[in-house]
Amino acid sequence: MRNPLLATLGAAGLLLGASLPAAAANTFNVQVTAPTVATITVTSPGNVICAPGNAVTGIVACTNTVNATGAIRSSAAGTASLSTTAVAATIVGTAGNSIPVSAISMTCADNGSSTTHGAATFASAAASTTTGTQCASWAGPNVFTYNVNLTFGIDASKVNADTYTVSTGWTVLASAT
């Protein structure tokens, strides 16, 4: 198994205290073991309601916002990503109609994210998929602390008249490779 990030920090000329041996008073080493890790907290208002009404074309905004916060530490020289995945490829209505999950688009708006390496970019109106739709990306291999608001829209042209409910829908997915 590959070791997690291992950093050796060296410094000279620091006063460590009279009780230490003379040699140690001049140099010391600190080993920092920092594994790859992700924390993901998803707060949902309960329902996100998409109601195209009489619209038959265009993207209609859904109600409510889902918030995701947390942090990701990727591997050395590695990349990490924050994405969403839909659990099912289609949403089935009570009358048997179905909507491809790609008809639901997602926007990730920054709500106070910070990164130690460059600016992050956030997805705008990206189609949902079961394999992963990028929500946020950032340049560096370091820690990304994120706070994003997810809003949704639906392509009215892909919705047949029906009533649809999804009870197990989307995951906010943190990954590092």
Partner 1 sequence: MRHNCARIAGGIAIALGSAIALTCAPALAAPTSLSLTVSPLVVEFHAGAGDAANATVTVRNDGPDPERIIALRMDWRVSADGTVRVEQPGTEGKASIADYLRLEPANAELAPGETRELTLTLDVPASFSKATAVYHSGFLVRAVPLDGHAAFGPAATVVAYDTVGTPTSHAKITQLHVSSPGNGSAVLSARIANDGTAYARSTGRIVLRRDGQVVVDETDSIPVLFAGEGRVFNKTLSGLAPGTYDVSFTLDYGGPTLLEGTTQVVVR
Task: Report in angstroms the alpha-carbon separations of 153 from 6, 81, 117.
Answer: 43, 22, 31
First-to-final CA distance of the chain: 14
Beta strands 143-155 and 121-122, pairing class: unpaired
Query: On the CB side of 164, how many CA atoms lie within 13 Å of its CA?
Result: 25
The yes or no reply on residue 133 touching partner 1 (CB under 8 A) is yes
The yes or no reply on residue 48 touching partner 1 (CB under 8 A) is yes
Nearer to partner 1, 2 or 10 (CB): 2
The yes or no reply on residue 139 touching partner 1 (CB under 8 A) is yes
The yes or no reply on residue 104 touching partner 1 (CB under 8 A) is yes
Which of 19, 43, 57, 96 touches partner 1 by CB under 8 A?
43
Nearer to partner 1, 26 or 44 (CB): 44
Provide CB contacts within 8 A for 14, sequence distance 6+. Answer: 28
Token pair for 33: 């073991």
The yes or no reply on residue 36 touching partner 1 (CB under 8 A) is yes
The yes or no reply on residue 102 touching partner 1 (CB under 8 A) is no
Q: Do 94 and 157 form a contact (C-beta atoms < 8 A)?
A: no
The yes or no reply on residue 4 touching partner 1 (CB under 8 A) is yes
The yes or no reply on residue 78 touching partner 1 (CB under 8 A) is yes
Stretch that binds partner 1, among 7-15, 22-30, 83-91, 107-115 (CB under 8 A): 83-91
Nearer to partner 1, 26 or 134 (CB): 134
Token pair for 84: 């969403």
